[in-house]
Structure 1
Amino acid sequence: KYGDQVVLLGKDGCIFAYPVEEWKRRFSEKLSELSTSTKEVRRTLRRLYGRAESCEFDRQGRILLPAKLRASSSIEKEAIIVGIENKLEIWDKGRWDEETGETGDGAADELPDEDLIEFEF
């Protein structure tokens, strides 16, 4: 079961989806500690919370994204879901292909050797 997610427009034109508990841990708890005495902080909080929405995966592993987020991220027909750390990135397939190259071959070649971990199966 995937559970409830908090979704919002992410960076580079994708949608970020966080499990609710991760959202609380990563954002809500930390943001509640900020002083709202400055206009910049209040504006940032409004943008973040105002654009975040709750949704959930169904039993078949599908998620219904709000139309506003689909439009903002240009997701039309096909989407790619990528798990990165404790969140999902949801991309329009065409935009994903542009961002990563159509095949995605050689992605590990872009990382410095000390950042790679070898796995044996």
Structure 2
Amino acid sequence: MPARFFGTYTPKLDDKGRLTLPAKFRDALAGGVMVTKGQDRSLSVYRTEDFQEIAEQTVAASRNDPAARAFMRLLFAGSEDQRPDGQGRITLPAELRTYAELTKDCVVTGAFDHLEIWDAQTWRDYQSEHEEDFSSAGSAALENLL
């Protein structure tokens, strides 16, 4: 059964580029993770087996679609296989840290089927920018349920 990830956590990135994953998720991630470029200058962290399923679907969809092939190439080129150490840390390669513009202060958010790693300021800016969208979408969703 796939793991489910919720919540917001604020680990620090150390001088060696290591980030401690939330203790709550360490058992689910102990078998290995795939760290990839995410959307909106974030990084995505998937359990290795979950990423494998995504990869298979992506490859199948990209056979005849140039945009899907471009996505696939960039996704796989920007992915790094990691195994958390005994303290739950993963090492984020320099290329991925640069892509996400990570500083020492980071935010790890649960995104249901994966985790996202954000620079803390970028996450605050993203939340501010999209708060109205969140409120509007929530109101619309509630109206549809009633």
* Structure 1 unaligned spans of 5+: 116-121
Name the structure with the higher helix share: 2
Distance in 2 between residues matched to 1:6 and 1:35, nearest whole Å: 20
Q: What's the TM-score, normalizing by structure 2?
A: 0.64
Cα deviation, residue 56, structure 1: 2.4
Query: 2:61 is paired with a residue of what secondary structure?
Result: coil
Q: Matched residues, percent identical?
A: 27
Q: Pick the aligned partner of 1:77 from 104, 115, 128.
A: 104
Matches within 5 A, 1:1-121: 1=27, 2-3=29-30, 4-25=32-53, 27-34=54-61, 36=63, 39-101=66-128, 110=135, 111-112=138-139, 114=142
For these two proteins, the number of residue pairs brought into alignment is 109
Amino acid at match of 1:72: Y
Cα deviation, residue 81, structure 1: 0.5
Distance in 1 between residues matched to 2:99 and 2:62, nearest whole Å: 30
Contact 2:105–2:119 (CA<8 Å) still a contact in 1?
yes
Cα deviation, residue 21, structure 1: 0.8
Cα deviation, residue 35, structure 1: 5.6
Q: What's the TM-score, normalizing by structure 1?
A: 0.75
Query: 2:95 is paired with a residue of what secondary structure?
Result: helix
Cα deviation, residue 37, structure 1: 5.0
Change (3 A) 1:34 1:60: same
Higher relative contact order (CA 8 A, sep 6+): 2
